[in-house]
Amino acid sequence: MLTDELDPRALRVLLVEDDDGDAVLVEELFADANLDVDLRRARSLEAAADMLDVDCVLLDLGLPDAAGIPALEKILASPRTPAVVVLTGMSESGAGLRAVAAGAQDYLVKGDVSPELLARAVRYAIQRRHAEIQERDLYRAQVRASETSRLERGLLPTPLVADGALEVLVGYRAGRDGLLGGDFYDVVERPDGSVAAVVGDVAGHGPDEAALGATLRTAWRTSVLAGLPAEQVLDVTEQILAAERGRPEIFATAVMVVVNPERTALDLFLCGHPTPFLLGPPTTSLPSDRRGRALGIPVLGGWTSQRVELPERWRIILFTDGVLETTIDTRGARLGEEGLQVLMDDQLRVEADQSPDARRRTFVELVLEAVRARHGGDLVDDTALVVLGWGGGAA
């Protein structure tokens, strides 16, 4: 029976047909087929456009406002396209075959349709459409996985450090949607024995920012391996940013440290980025007196390093703002610098208390898990962490 309301328990079918006689015939065929169908009708393509929330469309190719393949193409252009079975009044099968080639799941010739044939065509069309959607979703998932893998190779490099006595821990956690963002990190030992590390964050979210982050990370590593002075490394990285960004307002923050060969001091460069911590307990911030501008910001001034003397045993952690900006309650309060320092002190104790018989989680893993727990789920923003340590850990 033709109805205005859809029964969720039945197959939902929309008949797009301007001829009253043909519409009655289709209704009778469904009744004779003993198929539970919730049948609706549109007399024109324009009317059908707002009624496509169904399982299957029976589409007449001879409508008052569209005819032939163009009518089918308009239905298929809808973002919520259901299965489509074309009804043609022509005895030859050419029009139906062209409709299937254009995207319909099946076709029927008016006058040659039995109840069983109509019921089977609708059921099979719905199954084919479901299979097509699953195949499309699988393909998209495979493409996304491939893109993510390529971005991971750029954003998540293996630290290039030969000094086995230097502790190097790295970690990355994608945001809630699982797609890598513009955060990046790297650690490279230079020919003179010093070790350079960077953590950066391209403003914005999405594949373009992730690709730019990977490019900046590659530019930074190449510049370090080429033996450029630390200040010049940042200059080159900014030049690559200006050349590769899609819009002039895109910028990146970064923090770079260069630990001297003796592991007794480091040079700190802050480019509009959160200040690294010296792990404790108590965990404290490194000095930030010489904070510089972010990369890509068109203002005067560059970056001046700040020398930081290190204790005999030390660990420092570099991070992006994904951990600082994490919300920790329903009112939107953020973890912040002090909260993160307390959290890290807690995880230092957890790290020390781990059973030697269990899988020992790294400090980076512990911090990421703890931040996620404070937030109550996956983090909205992506996060990169780098830990460098000397002398067996923090004093």
In the chain, the percentage of residues whose pLDDT exceeds 70 is 91
Q: What pLDDT, in 10s, does the model give residues 310-336? A: 999 999 999 999 899 888 887 889 999
Nearest Cα neighbor of 182 from 250, 128, 232, 228 is 250
Q: What pLDDT, in 10s, does the model give residues 119-166? A: 999 999 998 888 888 888 887 777 766 666 655 555 678 999 999 999
The phi and psi torsions of 385 (rounded to 5 degrees) equal -135, 145
Give the model's pLDDT for residue 135. Answer: 84
Are the beta carbons of 212 and 251 closer than 8 angstroms?
A: no
Nearest Cα neighbor of 206 from 260, 246, 236 is 246
Q: How confident is the model at residue 10 (pLDDT cuts 50, 70, 90)?
A: confident
| Interior angle at CA 284, CA 278 and CA 290, nearest 5 | 80
Q: Which of 25-34, 105-114, 278-287, 325-334 has the highest mean pLDDT?
A: 278-287
In the chain, the domains with their CATH numbers are 11-137 (3.40.50.2300), 156-390 (3.60.40.10)
Q: What pLDDT, in 10s, does the model give residues 217-242? A: 999 999 999 999 998 999 999 999 99
Task: Mean pLDDT check: name the lowest of 22-26, 97-101, 212-216.
Answer: 97-101
pLDDT score of 28 more than 50: yes
Are the beta carbons of 309 and 262 closer than 8 angstroms?
A: no
Are the beta carbons of 71 and 45 closer than 8 angstroms?
A: yes
Give the model's pLDDT for residue 147. Answer: 62
Q: How confident is the model at residue 88 (pLDDT cuts 50, 70, 90)?
A: confident
Nearest Cα neighbor of 186 from 162, 154, 209, 210 is 154
Q: How far apart are CA 192 and CA 18, in angstroms?
A: 83
pLDDT score of 394 more than 50: no
Give the model's pLDDT for residue 148. Answer: 62
Give the model's pLDDT for residue 111. Answer: 79
Give the model's pLDDT for residue 271. Answer: 96
Q: Which of 2-6, 13-17, 68-72 has the highest mean pLDDT?
A: 13-17
Taking the CA of residue 325 as centre, how many other CA atoms within 13 Å lie in the half-sphere pointing to its CB? Answer: 12
Helix axes 336-353, 363-375, angle to 10 degrees: 130
Q: How confident is the model at residue 3 (pLDDT cuts 50, 70, 90)?
A: very low
If you average pLDDT over residues 212-221, what whole number do you get? 93
Are the beta carbons of 256 and 230 closer than 8 angstroms?
A: yes
Residue 159 gets which letter from DSSP?
A: P
pLDDT score of 8 more than 60: no
pLDDT score of 12 more than 60: yes
Nearest Cα neighbor of 173 from 386, 385, 383 is 383
Q: Does 163 or 210 have the greater pLDDT score?
A: 163
Is the N-terminal amide bond of 281 cis, ω within 30° of 0? yes
Give the model's pLDDT for residue 69. Answer: 85
Residue 312 gets which letter from DSSP?
A: S
Q: Does 328 or 259 have the greater pLDDT score?
A: 259
Q: What pLDDT, in 10s, does the model give residues 52-69? A: 889 999 998 888 888 788
Give the model's pLDDT for residue 131. Answer: 86
If you average pLDDT over residues 276-291, what whole number do you get? 95
How does the average pLDDT of the chain come out, rounded?
A: 87
Q: What is the value of pTM for the model shown?
A: 0.65
Residue 359 gets which letter from DSSP?
A: P
The torsion region of residue 204 among left (phi > 0), alpha (psi -120 to 50) and beta comes to left
Which residues, 6 or more positions from 124, have their beta carbon under 8 angstroms from its beta carbon?
105, 106
Give the model's pLDDT for residue 95. Answer: 74
Q: How far apart are CA 377 and CA 176, in angstroms?
A: 9
pLDDT score of 1 more than 60: no
Q: Does 137 or 363 have the greater pLDDT score?
A: 363
DSSP states along 26-74: HHHHHHHTT--EEEEEESSHHHHTT---SSEEEEESEETTEESHHHHHH
pLDDT score of 349 more than 70: yes
